Amino acid sequence: MNHDAQQIPEFNDVILAHDRIRPFIHRTPVMTSSILNEMTGRELYFKCENFQKVGAFKYRGATNAVMSLTRDKLDAGVATHSSGNHAAALALAARTHGSMAWIVMPRTAPQVKIDAVKGYGARIVFCEPTLESRESTLEKVVKETGASFIHPFDNVNVVSGQGTAAKELLEDVPDLDAVITPVGGGGLLSGSAITCKHVRPAMNVFAAEPKNADDAYRSYKTNRLIPSENPQTIADGLLTSLSPMTFQIMREKVDDIHTATEESIIRSMMLIWERMKIVVEPSAVLPLAVLIEHGQAIKGQRMGLILSGGNVDFKKMVHLFGSISSVAETG
């Protein structure tokens, strides 16, 4: 792909995306927690995308991308490589709009993820668990079927769709000092930054990333796109690296980035489960984790935090519950 040819989305694209997808997505609630406010000394506003369809904000971008295709393109189907939330999101968005999704997944993907995508009616094409196999398999699928490739984040329509979460948050809580989002490939971060900097230029936009997968942090600080190499983090939705497009948006519009340790991530997840009584996945809690870990280094009193998703493999979580002391009993 020629990334340079890709247009950078503007706030108007987010407005158009919202108008397009509004009937098909959940308007997710903004929740608050007096206990977490006390703990952090701020006013926190949590945008709960764990309650979004398929359990993650990814449904916004996938729906906008699918709905931006012509009927002919829809008839030929859509395709992507992902074993995570984008795969499920694209599968459901395709089914909802009379299209077919082809999902390239490594043979080693957990059965529960394969079943979830199949449950949304997508066709799965297995590849070897290597970058080369993934890309060549996807290319083959696209060539054979004529399906449109919907990249998980390096796609203008996807980024515009992801921006609708911050747009709703600012509609509900207009006077925020800052918004913090997790960053993996940078789709949610980019869409949020485009939205926030247009709607309320004085506010800050911060990125939050696992210390163990800190490619965006290093790229941002060195001003040079550095891909991640074999990152290991419990926040498995944040393993991917930025694309040239999302890196460009980040450089232009994001005010700072902070990282959180694995222990902070686990503690923050437990805090949200125990205190707010909602289920969020590890990747979703990075904004709270950096806020707790970096305290006064992060400026702002009224903070919007995007809880990106709630798809948890409880069996995988089991060993974590023993690894830290319980943070609370009642909320």
Tell me the closest approach of the beta carbon of residue 82 to a second copy, in angstroms: 12
- Kindly tell me which of 106 and 331 has the beta carbon lying closer to a second copy: 331
We find the least distance from the C-beta atom of residue 186 to a second copy, in angstroms, to be 22
Task: Identify which of residues 52 and 264 has a Cβ nearer to a second copy in the complex.
Answer: 52
CB 268 within 8 A of CB 29: no
* CB neighbour class for 186 (10 Å; exposed up to 12, middle 13-18, buried from 19): buried
CA–CA dist 214, 255 (Å, integer):
16
Question: Which of 220, 218, 224 shows the shortest CA–CA distance to 251?
Answer: 220
User: Which spans of this chain sit near a second copy (rule: CB under 8 A)?
Assistant: 29, 50-51, 54-56, 85, 88, 112-113, 115-116, 270, 273-274, 277-280, 310-315, 317-318, 321-322, 326, 328-331
DSSP 302: E
H/E run at residue 317: helix 314-321
| Cα–Cα distance, 209 to 156 (Å, whole number) | 22
> Please, which residue, 224 or 315, has the CB nearer to a second copy?
315
CB of 185 to a second copy, least distance (A): 19
Q: Work out how close the CB of 277 gets to a second copy at its nearest, in angstroms, rounded to a whole number.
A: 4
Phi and psi dihedrals of 257, rounded to 5? -140, 145
Minimum CB separation of residue 164 from a second copy in Å reads 19
Instruction: Decide whether 33 or 190 has the Cβ nearer to a second copy.
Output: 33
Cβ 39 to a second copy, closest distance in Å?
Answer: 13
C-alpha dist (Å) from residue 228 to 48, 181, 249: 28, 19, 18
CB closer to a second copy out of 177 and 274: 274
- Dihedral (Cα; 162, 79, 94, 182), 10-degree rounding: -20
> Closest CB to a second copy among 13 and 281?
281
